[in-house]
Structure 1
Amino acid sequence: MSPTSILSRHRVAALLGAALIISPVVISFAQNGSNTNLSNVAATTQTPVAGAAAPSGSFAPIVATTKPAVVTITTVMEANRKPMGEVSPFDGNSPFDEYFRQFFGDQGMPMPKTPPQQQQQQRQQALGSGFIVNADGTIVTNNHVIDGASSIKVTLDDGTELPAKLVGHDAKNDLAVLKVKADKPLPTIKWGDSNKLMTGDQVLAIGNPFGIGTTVTEGIVSARGRDLHSGPFDDFIQIDAPINHGNSGGPLVDIHGDVIGINTAIYSPNGGSVGVGFAIPSDQAEKVVAKLEQGGNIEYGYLGVQIQPVTPDVAGAIGLDHPDGALVSSVTQGSPAAKAGIEVGDVITGFGGQQIKYPKDLSRAVADVAPGTKETVNIWRKGKTIQISTDVGRNTEDTQTASTGGQGKPSAGQGQGVPSLGLGLTDITPNIRQELNLADNQHGAVVERVSPDKAASAAGIQPGDVIVGIDQTPVKSARQANQAIAEAGKSGKKSVLLLIDRGDQQIFVAVPFAAG
């Protein structure tokens, strides 16, 4: 029961992520190869609504209405399975050991020693939160709260304990639906409209942090549209209401008492709440929950492309007026995209009647389409807008932004200089092919050196990269690459678009001439 990793070079905790019943724990994760941090996660622009204001006085009426519908979820893990990152609070590795030493000292109150067999049982039991959306016992929570559980128990607000059945779950959206049977209709809480939320709106987070009992905390919406790279559908609400381990799956409610989010993750450099939490928007969650209630699992559409953002430099290199769309860096052989004629270098600006401004827009649009559906794709290709009709396939993998990975420096050779960009290029020799583990049919220009104070270095070009295309035209040698770059510079373009093979990834990198 652990979260996906969501922020690079920071400690990140799931809100229940493996919290033991007897104590909270700290989980640390990192996303390899990413430079993501909170400062460069974009928020959506919002327009204030006239007359919107925070309530004055007590939140007690809202709590009285919503709290009875919030439940505690206790799970027992499968045999020999342990929540990722979990540690016993009394095994000598817990931050709480130091806490008790500060108050009692090494010679003070003795710490209880738990028998090994009992420790193992405790490690396999954890808890989270959820909320009832139907009086028949339908409960919503996070997938990571119940992931891998062999048994699930729900404790109602009045203390009633009921066994729960897993109706359906979806790891990509981190949502799950449970069902309990009660001898009477259960209190419920209704969905709200997260699209109406604005930065600064007051919200309440309800859940069972650390297993101490149902708790309510208050805060505001700090930002919208946070992409934490924890999954293909990230669109989190950022809040400053204190939430901790055990709050996972609990509701985030507005001043009307409606659910406008599901508390899911926290940013935590020290293991505890620092006032930066994240919730899944209700508009996203409600649709997924409705599907899970019907079928138990969700089938996602599949296109078969690897995509990346269109930066201003990329837009300038390919003649786009605005840096919008999803740039296709590779097409999977035999995929629906390949069969439809989508090509590397295409910029997808529309799908199924929806405008595509960012890569995540395309990921969500494709995933929401039922497999077997035929959709129209709007594409910017070599200065023109075209439309292509494509079938949407069925696959467990979604389109993703292309990731980057480094390569070792190739052997020295007789390189070709590109002074304006700060690149030293060389042909693929047998030694370089072997050193970089390149395929026998791999062609292109190998980056031998990069000047640290030039444009190519600033754009992220690395020694060992293989340039296979320039401005959407293939190149097979260092000489061809030099000529293509020179022609791009003479044409008056502000930047040149390089298609690079790096490890097992293929990405576009736009390098501005002005910075050279």
Structure 2
Amino acid sequence: MYNSDYNRIPEDREPIETEQFHVYEAEPPKQKKRKGAARFVALGLCCALIGGLAGGGGVLAYNHFAGGSTTIYQGSAPSVAVNLAQVDGHTVLTPEEIYAANLGAVVGVNGSVTTNVFGYTVKNAVSGSGFVISSNATTSYILTNYHVINDVSDITVFFADGTSYDATLVGGEQENDIAVLRVEQGNLQTVTLGDSDALNVGEEVYAIGNPLGELTFTFTGGYVSAKDRSVTMSDGTVMNMLQTDTAINNGNSGGPLFNEYGQVIGIVSAKLSSSSSSEASVEGLGFAIPINDVRDMITSIIEHGYVTGKPNVGVLLDDVSQEAQRYGVPAGAEVMAVLDGSGADKGGLQAGDIITAVNGTEVSSVSALQEAVKEYKAGDKVTFSVYRDGDTTTVDVTLDEENQEREEAMNQLQQDYYEEQQAQQQQQQQQGGYFQWPFGW
């Protein structure tokens, strides 16, 4: 006679009913050795499973080893209500509170047509993200990236509660990749801006956005990985960025990056690519525009439609070629054309001049010159060191303001320059060369 775990019992014993086991009089059927081994293995797996479930808060109980029923106990945790915390700049919030406190101020931004990650055209998917920064009784303003709305018509913004509004572009600043949208709807929830300069590497940060355009209002978190990263964008623009390992993907662009107090300290803008491809394939490397870098620009766009005080020299520029440098010409930014009546024209800059320094700071390219002049405002006087006809001289230039009128004038100057160079372009193409548009600045 055998009980359920095969311990021999006397033959004269009657069947005994126990709470967990049934004892039988009959001998168990003889089993082949192979099946006994299989039973042993199965029993071992069951024991391992029971131990694992017990350790994880669940219990698997066998009431009957020989074909009986099983009972599975599943652990539970009490549901916790998330407080709708106030963003006061002094209280550290939990991730749940940060999401709940700011979700209503985050939007998806969409143009008329969007292509999703699988290559299909989707009308309801978003092309980027944004967030409400100001709202009065009748009008609200939304901040996003310039590249999200560039060349996009019929802009619409979507909120997490399902509401949507038509939006118009107030203005943008391509060089710093910011744009402000306006919706004719008042009293919307807004975010609170924080101090990006006060961030420390290692601090926790969080993003709300719309990765891939269809996984709307996704919450991700990570750390500040580095500050003051000089990142070269796909169009060649060099920007100062916060680096973070927060998960960022296409569709997150323009969304907010929050500190642990629930304040916006950055605008999610870019993810690094491992190659020349436009696909952002590197994991754990995301970038955001520090909010302090663009705070004044945002205010200018809302009030004037463009960034006031931004300097403009009034010249077309190009980098000095490597071939010219081999013949002793210094590296720098070569002046290709000068706008009549501009600060450059009044200061005496000429076509053919090579700018090598700004107020004593050496510059070896157009981008370096632009970075140096960024530190000044319209109306400031700067001294350019210029290489001209084999000699070095200085030219004092009072910086003009970059506005719509100046932009149109520079576009026309660029077009005129192009037309004048058509013959040279054809000649270079015949010789296997190429023609490159100069920078208008």
TM-score, reference length from structure 2: 0.56
Q: Conserved in 2, the CA contact under 8 Å of 1:139 and 1:179?
A: yes
- Alpha-carbon distance change, 284 to 141 in structure 1, aligned in 2, over 3 angstroms: same
Q: Which residue of 1 aligns with 2:99?
A: 63
Q: Which residue of 2 aligns with 1:138?
A: 141
| Structure 1 residue 247 displacement after superposition | 0.9
Q: Which runs of 5+ in 1 are unaligned?
A: 1-54, 95-118, 320-325, 399-432, 440-463, 466-501, 508-516
Q: Which residue of 1 aligns with 2:170?
A: 167
Q: Which residue of 2 aligns with 1:475?
A: none
- Alpha-carbon distance change, 395 to 367 in structure 1, aligned in 2, over 3 angstroms: farther
Q: Which residue of 2 aligns with 1:362?
A: 369
| Structure 1 residue 346 displacement after superposition | 4.0
Q: For residue 216 of structure 1, what is the amino acid of its counterpart?
A: F
Q: Conserved in 1, the CA contact under 8 Å of 2:93 and 2:261?
A: no
Q: For residue 205 of structure 1, what is the amino acid of its counterpart?
A: A
Q: Conserved in 2, the CA contact under 8 Å of 1:232 and 1:363?
A: no
User: How do 1:105-184 and structure 2 match up within 5 A?
Assistant: 122=122, 126-136=126-136, 137-182=140-185, 184=187
Q: Conserved in 2, the CA contact under 8 Å of 1:164 and 1:178?
A: yes
Query: Is it true that 1:192 corresponds to 2:182 in the alignment?
Result: no
Q: Conserved in 2, the CA contact under 8 Å of 1:329 and 1:506?
A: no
Query: Is it true that 1:291 corresponds to 2:300 in the alignment?
Result: yes
1:270-327, Cα deviation, whole Å (9 max, x unpaired)? 666622223223233323222210222457624314254999xx8xx789xxxxxx81
Q: Conserved in 1, the CA contact under 8 Å of 2:320 and 2:333?
A: no
Q: Which residue of 2 aligns with 1:256?
A: 261
Q: How far apart are the structure 1 equivalents of 2:256 and 2:144?
A: 9
Question: After TM superposition, which residue ranges in structure 1, 4 or more long, deviate above 6 angstroms?
Answer: 353-358, 367-371, 382-385, 433-436
Q: For residue 360 of structure 1, what is the amino acid of its counterpart?
A: S
Q: How far apart are the structure 2 equivalents of 1:278 and 1:236?
A: 6
Query: Is it true that 1:208 corresponds to 2:241 in the alignment?
Result: no
Q: How far apart are the structure 2 equivalents of 1:362 and 1:236?
A: 19
Q: Which residue of 2 aligns with 1:437?
A: 427
Q: Which residue of 2 aligns with 1:477?
A: none
SS of equivalent to 2:300: helix
Q: Which residue of 1 aligns with 2:349?
A: 342
1:396-448, Cα deviation, whole Å (9 max, x unpaired)? 559xxxxxxxxxxxxxxxxxxxxxxxxxxxxxxxxxx9999269xxxxxxxxx
Q: How far apart are the structure 2 equivalents of 1:385 and 1:205?
A: 50
Q: What is the percent sequence identity of the aligned residues? A: 27
Q: Which runs of 5+ in 2 are unaligned?
A: 1-90, 412-422
Q: Conserved in 2, the CA contact under 8 Å of 1:219 and 1:242?
A: yes
Q: For residue 389 of structure 1, what is the amino acid of its counterpart?
A: V
SS of equivalent to 2:176: coil
Q: Which residue of 2 aligns with 1:375?
A: 381
Number of aligned residue pairs: 314
Q: For residue 225 of structure 1, what is the amino acid of its counterpart?
A: S
1:67-104, Cα deviation, whole Å (9 max, x unpaired)? 3322223x342xxxx55xx3684xxx67xxxxxxxxxx
SS of equivalent to 1:154: strand
Q: For residue 177 of structure 1, what is the amino acid of its counterpart?
A: V
Match of 1:239 among 230, 237, 244: 244
User: How do 1:69-80 and structure 2 match up within 5 A?
Assistant: 69-73=105-109, 75-77=110-112
1:33-82, Cα deviation, whole Å (9 max, x unpaired)? xxxxxxxxxxxxxxxxxxxxxx9995334434433322223x342xxxx5
Q: Conserved in 2, the CA contact under 8 Å of 1:76 and 1:124?
A: no
Query: Rg bigger for which structure?
Result: 2
Q: For residue 437 of structure 1, what is the amino acid of its counterpart?
A: Q
Task: Pick the structure with more helix per residue.
Answer: 2
Q: How far apart are the structure 2 equivalents of 1:88 and 1:131?
A: 23
| Structure 1 residue 157 displacement after superposition | 3.9
Q: For residue 340 of structure 1, what is the amino acid of its counterpart?
A: G
| Structure 1 residue 202 displacement after superposition | 3.4
